[in-house]
Structure 1
Amino acid sequence: MATGSDAAAVGGDVGRPPAGANRSWFVLATLTFVYILNFLDRQLIGILAKPIQDSLQITDGQLGLIGGLYFAMFYCFIAIPVGWFADRTSRVGVLSLACAIWSGATVACGLAANYAQLVVARMTVGFGEAGGVPPSYAIITDTYPPGKRAAALGVFNLGPAIGAALGVAFGASIADRFGWRIPFIIVGAIGVVTALFVWLFIREPKKGAMDGARGVGASDKAPFWPTVGAFLSNPVLMLASLGSGATQFVTYGLGNFAVLYLMREKGMEFGDVAVWYALVLLLGMGGGMVISGRVIDAMTRRSRSGYAVAPAVSLAIAMPFYIGFVWAPGWPLALALLAVVMVFNYFYLSASVALVQEEVKPNQRVLSGALLLLIMNFIGLGLGPTWVGFASDWFKAQGDTQSLQSALYTLTPFYLIAIGLFVALARRLRREQSAMEPGA
């Protein structure tokens, strides 16, 4: 990783803001592609679950641990020191090195000969991916001004949708012909090349360049523990993080087992998955990301409570469609219902990220983004898939022939928890805004 003394050599001209709209879009497009690779790799375990299970003889519970707790142990907690380091040095340098690490580990996943080796490889992937998203959040925030950030972050957050769709289409098609190991090796190799591209062609933007008066002092190095303490003691930031975590408990619990569920209990084949499930992810999740960014920008111009109202309403819409997806007797109806779920499940992401980035000082943005990811991903990514995997094993032990269906039903209460947290956040934001109005 780059140090403060050599940061000027990393990623071009450090300290210079983006040169116009073309540069802004170039940066956004490049970071989005990195995020696509990040999420594509993360989804390969779930997409290729059935052949991996058949090859390595692992249970649903073990599969849930690989995609959940084992991955999240490194992904969540390493993000904190990485975020602190990136805030003090070069965010572009940290992102480039992180991409190289997780991509090399992805190749190792494809070479794993047993469950233990796959666990170690996935933990290393988590270690690398910890340095991917928080620096990107901060780079985008210092590239786009307030009022345009949620839309820009909405485009960036297309990464999971495109990555998941490409993972399904690419992973399922290649695995069907050449086995489950080859997709890991190809994706890892592409990632290593991309890491070099980021290092060479992305400039480090000036901290706080787009914040006007708030950018004053952005070059100061934020102290670690006071920044952590300020985040954890801020009710707005904590409600956003916990609401996002409860939402991700559903999205990751579903995402890591959806393909296995559709194939094992709904009768889909790899060919069907590669086309139809990929389209649902791309159009549903991708459409939701784009729509959510624009909706949130429009709502927050009137009131900051839009950062919480939008995800609360969207999750209330998604919940009955999710229940219908799990209940559906065949995969065509299940996919149609899942498309609606995907559109409304992800409004929380752009909202929470934009809120956190605007709530903190410019020199605290990477560390604060990492803290947001720590809380929401440890709850969602770490515990969601783990819960579903062990719940499925438990239902199977009770003689349930549709054990994954029963396990997925158990995610429904977390919709209600997430909605409640975002409603509480909306009330908090309204009170704060009222207190700041003249004459309050």
Structure 2
Amino acid sequence: MLPQRPDSSHNDNYLTSPREAWFAFVMTFALMFFDFVDRQVIVSLFPHIRSAWHLSDKQLGSLVSVISVVVGAGGIPVALVADRMGRVKSIVAMALAWSLATISCMFTANYGQLFAARAVVGIGEAGYGSVGVALISTLFPGRMRSAVLGAFYAAPSLGSVLGVVLGGAIAAKWGWQAAFGVVGVPGLVLALLYLRVRDYRTPALTFDSKQPTRSLAQTLKPVFGTMARTRTLLWVCAGAAAQLITVSAIWSWLPSYLNRFHGMAPDAAARSAAVVVLVGAVSSTVWGIVVGRLAVRRPRNKLLALAVLCLMTWAVFAVAFGGTYSGDAQFRMILLGAFFMNCTVGVVAGIAMDIIHPGVRSTGAAVVSLFQNVCGLATGPFLAGILSDQWGLQRAFAVTPLCSIMASVCFVVAMRSYDSDVARISSGTPDMAPVAADAVSQGTAV
């Protein structure tokens, strides 16, 4: 799959003005931030919901996992539409949908209703991350991709921090259902402001020098065929998903762990867990910058760096939950593990953009998102809940980080094909003229 203009010289500048690119970054970051506020607010409410409705840990975990399952399943169709019809309009529609669905959660009366409402939140969020990644990674120069996406992927951690803290505080004062109404409103406002973001024109795809694709239906088969043959993408998807099993298990169950094993009140446990998530937010940006600089001369070394960081994640958590540490000493070990565990998110997105044609970057990012959400973010909370029901939460936390070893192996294997996959894309630069923001707001096709 070749760029439209293979004879063009490689351009590593901003696609539009730096000011417009950074405005797009800030707005996309803000929406991702409140996306995860809406997702994670529920984890600090687990003790309240468990007490009110007498739910098992497996059921509680499913209230987190269902969003990731729906996001993963719906991400590719949404991204395909976004790549053809425009990324900005798609993001606005999704943000409105997930914000309204979050607000509706406050009116649920039982587990089934809350589960259904959370699934609708996932429908609204489907494809948002992948479409946002495609937009900002294309507007910025390639040399900045790892750093910019590393900073962008601090938004989930920061949003999770606020969601966890707000959930605990609001539940203590006004009841747990009120928390959903409070966190759902900002997304509605940001969605309308996002109409001022500037999109880029979708470049045409050619699969040989004479026969360009002419319809979406004709495009699908070669697009997915090419992605399936891109070995780096497959191994990176597997590694990213495996690492996120560890991340999502810790994020989802740490407030409950601190409540049960450290005797903290739910709101105090939420604040302490938020500190752990905040460390992850900082680390995603730090590792995005560090890994990007370490791999300036040999870009495939980004994968080696990720493999080492994943092994460090497993080692620290194995000691924290499998050893004799307790109290403050254990919490410090958890903080150290949090600094390593969120290392992959920005770097993995940058690697994916390195090996995916600009005309289908939303779709390619959605493939990564599918693996990350269904096999990673959805699996972690549910798996930890099952293990907790069987063995207790302490042992569940000791076992789950073994997935980080699997992630390390996948990243090492991906190194073997990275250079050849990048070479296919970097031979030319397709035409991706930016689209004016007023054209987007008036519904102009891109």
C-alpha displacement at 1:145, in angstroms? 0.9
Determine if contact 1:267/1:331 at 8 Å carries over to the other structure: no
Determine if contact 1:253/1:380 at 8 Å carries over to the other structure: no
Change (3 A) 1:433 1:116: closer
1:22-54 CA distance string (max 9 Å, x none): 222221111111011111111122221111111
Whether 2:39 is the aligned partner of 1:42: answer yes
Whether 2:146 is the aligned partner of 1:146: answer no
1:119-152 CA distance string (max 9 Å, x none): 1001111111113111101110121011101111
Determine if contact 2:39/2:67 at 8 Å carries over to the other structure: no
Which position in structure 2 is the counterpart of 1:398? none
Which position in structure 1 is the counterpart of 2:418? 429
Which position in structure 1 is the counterpart of 2:27? 30
Following superposition of structure 1 onto structure 2, how do residues 260-299 of structure 1 map, counting pairs within 5 Å?
Answer: 260-282=256-278, 284-299=279-294
The CA distance in 2 between the partners of 1:257 and 1:325, in whole Å, is 15
C-alpha displacement at 1:235, in angstroms? 0.7
The CA distance in 2 between the partners of 1:21 and 1:208, in whole Å, is 21
The worse-fitting range, judged by mean Cα deviation, of 290-299 and 26-35 is: 290-299
Determine if contact 1:142/1:206 at 8 Å carries over to the other structure: no
Following superposition of structure 1 onto structure 2, how do residues 217-228 of structure 1 map, counting pairs within 5 Å?
Answer: 223-228=219-224
The worse-fitting range, judged by mean Cα deviation, of 316-325 and 93-102 is: 316-325
Determine if contact 1:64/1:389 at 8 Å carries over to the other structure: yes
Q: Which amino acid aligns with 2:114?
A: L
Determine if contact 1:168/1:274 at 8 Å carries over to the other structure: yes
Which position in structure 1 is the counterpart of 2:11? none
The CA distance in 1 between the partners of 2:262 and 2:215, in whole Å, is 55
Determine if contact 2:44/2:165 at 8 Å carries over to the other structure: no
Change (3 A) 1:306 1:71: same
Q: Which runs of 5+ in 1 are unaligned?
A: 1-16, 210-216, 396-402
Following superposition of structure 1 onto structure 2, how do residues 166-205 of structure 1 map, counting pairs within 5 Å?
Answer: 166-199=162-195, 201-205=196-200
Q: Which amino acid aligns with 1:197?
A: L
Following superposition of structure 1 onto structure 2, how do residues 1-40 of structure 1 map, counting pairs within 5 Å?
Answer: 19-40=16-37
Which position in structure 2 is the counterpart of 1:63? 60
1:358-415 CA distance string (max 9 Å, x none): 21111110000001111122111222211111111122xxxxxxx1111122213212
1:282-323 CA distance string (max 9 Å, x none): 2x1122111111122213321121231121111122222212
Query: Aligned match of 2:98 in 102, 106, 125?
Result: 102
C-alpha displacement at 1:433, in angstroms? 8.1
Structure with the bigger RCO (C-alpha within 8 Å, sep 6+) is 2
Following superposition of structure 1 onto structure 2, how do residues 294-305 of structure 1 map, counting pairs within 5 Å?
Answer: 294-305=289-300
Determine if contact 2:61/2:385 at 8 Å carries over to the other structure: yes
C-alpha displacement at 1:255, in angstroms? 1.5
Whether 2:350 is the aligned partner of 1:361: answer no
Query: Aligned match of 1:322 in 292, 317, 339?
Result: 317
Q: Which amino acid aligns with 1:316?
A: L
The CA distance in 1 between the partners of 2:380 and 2:273, in whole Å, is 21
C-alpha displacement at 1:331, in angstroms? 4.3
Whether 2:61 is the aligned partner of 1:72: answer no
C-alpha displacement at 1:207, in angstroms? 4.3
The worse-fitting range, judged by mean Cα deviation, of 224-233 and 73-82 is: 224-233
Q: Which amino acid aligns with 1:320?
A: A
The CA distance in 2 between the partners of 1:411 and 1:103, in whole Å, is 31
C-alpha displacement at 1:208, in angstroms? 6.5
Determine if contact 2:314/2:402 at 8 Å carries over to the other structure: no
Q: Aligned-pair RMSD on alpha carbons?
A: 2.4
The CA distance in 2 between the partners of 1:331 and 1:35, in whole Å, is 33
Determine if contact 2:239/2:411 at 8 Å carries over to the other structure: yes
Q: Which amino acid aligns with 2:359?
A: N
Change (3 A) 1:164 1:325: farther
Whether 2:314 is the aligned partner of 1:309: answer no
Q: How many residues align?
A: 403
Determine if contact 2:44/2:270 at 8 Å carries over to the other structure: no
Which position in structure 1 is the counterpart of 2:437? none
Q: Which amino acid aligns with 1:88?
A: R
Determine if contact 2:230/2:421 at 8 Å carries over to the other structure: no
Whether 2:161 is the aligned partner of 1:161: answer no
Whether 2:399 is the aligned partner of 1:410: answer yes
Determine if contact 1:40/1:164 at 8 Å carries over to the other structure: yes
Q: Which runs of 5+ in 2 are unaligned?
A: 1-13, 205-211, 426-446
Which position in structure 2 is the counterpart of 1:3? none
